[in-house]
């Protein structure tokens, strides 16, 4: 019997975990031709999320829990989950119920048809109009600059065959953005359309600052175009500066006593060049920061506790678990 692992990162989701567990088990109990497990990774919640998950795991041994030592951010928390499962396929989803568990059967059906990656793609989304506009701008920028073709309105909610997960694990990434890496690696992707609902309870921990940080990191991970743009604009600005300088020099020579250069061109040019330099120094710093993080090879998270992982195998397919034996080491 093949095994599918459902990976759910969470932080302060006490208002949703019980309803999420009920909705997920409702779907997987219908698909009894597979062995299932649900892995929650709590990113050091400050509410009673962990206590609720403990209670769930006591009555259902399919539920496994990882509790992080500290809050490492949603990207690193979700990335660590990719290093854990011992299954034939994994399904990644959020704990806020904005990723409907009702799509799980459609994911599995597409996987059975041979699709290695099946992602949910929302057609509509209920959210703040300003955030919606920023999100649309983000996707347009990513589409314009990315080195690979990326799908819009995809969050990573979907199913991944373990062969895909194994390849992702081999990459030297400082955190895993599965929806980008799958297309970059060339895997065919099946998209399942749906209407993304509002979270029924609790409050999102994402702020505008976090969205901005994620947008910048995504651009750095998927494209080198900003670096090429910096070189191109540097050449253009240098050329224009030389032309303007030559023009003023010739005019001054020809009209020594009547031609006045004025302060405005100097001030405007100074601030313009300074602004461009600062902007592209920032661009370079983002890529340098990305390179440093890759070289550091720090763990995504430090795990404080694992629950219901007794005798659990090494990450990979279940048949590898029998060959390799138990593994209780922390991921990465």
204: confidence class by pLDDT, cuts 50, 70, 90: low
Lowest mean pLDDT among 14-18, 45-49, 110-114, 178-182: 178-182
pLDDT over 70 at 189, yes or no: yes
Tokens of 298: 């720090």
183: confidence class by pLDDT, cuts 50, 70, 90: confident
Domain-by-domain residue ranges, the chain?
A: 3-207+299-324, 225-296
123-180 confidence digits (pLDDT tens): 877 766 777 777 777 777 777 777 777 777 888 899 999 999 999 888 877 778 787 7
Cα separation, 283 vs 142, in Å, equals: 15
Predicted local confidence at residue 206, as pLDDT:
64
Predicted local confidence at residue 322, as pLDDT:
47
Find out whether 190 and 119 touch, Cβ atoms under 8 Å. yes
Tokens of 39: 């892995």
248-275 confidence digits (pLDDT tens): 778 778 877 777 766 667 767 777 777 7
CA distances from 61 to 32, 38, 130, 313 (A): 16, 9, 43, 16
CATH topology of domain 3-207+299-324: Spore Coat Polysaccharide Biosynthesis Protein SpsA; Chain A (3.90.550)
Can you spell out the DSSP letters for 49-79?
HHHHHHHHHHH-TTEEEEEESS---HHHHHH
- Could you give phi then psi for residue 274, rounded to 5 degrees? -65, -40
Predicted local confidence at residue 179, as pLDDT:
76
288-303 confidence digits (pLDDT tens): 777 767 676 778 899 9
Cite the beta strand spans of 18-169 per DSSP E: 35-42, 63-68, 89-92, 117-125, 154-161
């Amino acid at each position: 019997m093949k095994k599918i692992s459902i990976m759910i990162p969470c932080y302060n989701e006490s208002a949703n975990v019980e309803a999420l567990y009920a909705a997920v088990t409702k779907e997987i109990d219908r698909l009894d031709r597979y062995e299932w497990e649900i892995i929650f990774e709590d990113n050091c919640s400050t509410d009673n999320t962990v206590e609720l998950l403990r209670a769930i795991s006591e009555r259902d041994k399919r539920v496994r829990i990882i509790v992080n030592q500290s809050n490492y951010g949603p990207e690193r928390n979700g990335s660590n989950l990719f290093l854990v499962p011992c299954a034939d396929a994994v399904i990644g989803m959020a704990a806020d119920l904005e990723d409907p568990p009702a799509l799980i059967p459609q994911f599995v059906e597409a996987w059975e048809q041979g699709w290695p990656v099946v992602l949910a793609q929302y057609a509509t989304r209920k959210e703040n109009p300003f955030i919606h506009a920023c999100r649309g701008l983000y996707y347009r920028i990513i589409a314009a600059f990315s080195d690979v073709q990326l799908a819009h309105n995809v969050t990573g909610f979907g199913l991944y065959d373990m062969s895909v997960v194994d390849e992702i694990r081999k990459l030297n990434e400082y955190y895993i953005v599965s929806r980008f890496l799958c297309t970059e690696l060339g895997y065919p992707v099946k998209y399942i359309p749906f209407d993304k609902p509002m979270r029924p309870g609790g409050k999102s921990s994402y702020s505008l600052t976090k969205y901005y940080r994620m947008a910048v990191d995504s651009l750095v991970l998927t494209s080198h175009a900003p670096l090429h743009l910096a070189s191109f604009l540097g050449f253009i600005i240098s050329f224009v500066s030389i032309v303007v300088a030559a023009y003023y020099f010739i005019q001054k020579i020809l009209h020594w006593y009547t031609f006045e250069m004025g302060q405005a061109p100097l001030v405007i040019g100074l601030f313009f060049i300074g602004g461009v330099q600062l902007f592209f120094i920032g661009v370079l710093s983002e890529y340098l920061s990305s390179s440093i993080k890759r070289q550091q090879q720090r763990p995504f998270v430090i795990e404080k506790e694992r629950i219901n992982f007794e005798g659990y195998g090494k990450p990979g397919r279940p048949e590898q678990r029998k060959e390799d034996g138990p593994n209780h080491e922390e991921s990465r």
